[in-house]
Amino acid sequence: MRGLLEWVLVIGLAILLALVTRTFVFRVTRVTGYSMEPTLSHGDVLILNRFSYVFSSPRAGDIVAFPYPDNPSAYFIKRIIAGADDIVDLSNSQFSVNGTPLDDPFSQQPVRHPSDVVSFPVTVEEGRFFVLGDNRNGSRDSRNNTVGNVQGDDMIGKVLVRIWPLSTFGRVD
């Protein structure tokens, strides 16, 4: 009987540790859609670091996950390009932040559709972030009022690593 009780205790602690880790440290998610190509592809499986913003703030260049506005149980995955009080502009198919053209090596195409709803320039509010998909012409992001500037507290976590497919396993920047 004592041996059985020990096994139940060990299994219970393992489940508790897994739940705490999943809730507070890491979360696994799958990319659905093509808005982050070429950086991330449809079907990629990612690990999100939920702990990354406990001691630091999100910053430009981070790829983050946040709840999908129409379905909070699903996530959007986008890249931060600007934070509080930054001024984002779009002119001649080129984004700029505070008057400096955005260094955009992951976005390989000129922006054909500048905005669904938002008019530029945009000043990012305190506690919020302007996010874009790397596939600028195929992304619903901060340019659309249904997404808008993302509240920092709404971010689920920072994309840490791609675990699937194995051929592209590794850190995501």
Distances (CA, A) of 120 to 2, 13, 39, 74, 104: 69, 52, 26, 28, 18
d(CA 59, CA 64): 10
Q: Could you tell me which residues come within 8 angstroms of residue 110 by beta carbon, excluding any fewer than 6 positions away?
A: 93, 94
d(CA 27, CA 83): 24
Helix (H/G/I), strand (E/B), else coil: 148: coil
Q: Which of 41, 73, 78, 167 is catalytic?
A: 78
Give me the pLDDT at residue 21, please: 64
Give me the pLDDT at residue 22, please: 64
Q: Which of 35, 107, 139, 142 is catalytic?
A: 35
The dotted CATH code for 26-171 is 2.10.109.10
In tens, the pLDDT along 8-19 reads 888 888 887 777
The answer on pLDDT for 163 being more than 80 is yes
What mean pLDDT comes out for the span 48-60?
A: 85
Give me the pLDDT at residue 116, please: 66
Give me the pLDDT at residue 98, please: 96
What mean pLDDT comes out for the span 90-106?
A: 86
Per-domain boundaries in the chain: 26-171
Amino acid letter, residue 15: I
Give me the pLDDT at residue 113, please: 64
In tens, the pLDDT along 14-38 reads 887 777 666 666 788 889 989 999 8
Select the more confidently predicted residue: 73 or 100: 100
Predicted confidence band of residue 71 (pLDDT cuts 50, 70, 90)? confident
Select the more confidently predicted residue: 80 or 9: 80
Nearest Cα to Cα of residue 172 among 64, 68, 75, 76: 64
The answer on pLDDT for 61 being more than 80 is yes
Is residue 53 within 8 Å of 64, Cβ to Cβ?
Answer: no
**How many of the other CB atoms lie within 10 Å of CB of 26?**
15
Select the more confidently predicted residue: 111 or 169: 169
The answer on pLDDT for 108 being more than 80 is no
CA 140 to chain centre: 13
In tens, the pLDDT along 137-150 reads 888 899 888 888 99
**How many of the other CB atoms lie within 10 Å of CB of 67?**
15
Residue 167 annotated among the catalytic residues of the structure: no
Residue 158 annotated among the catalytic residues of the structure: no
Nearest Cα to Cα of residue 150 among 90, 91, 89, 63: 63
Structure tokens at 124: 């990012």
Select the more confidently predicted residue: 3 or 44: 44
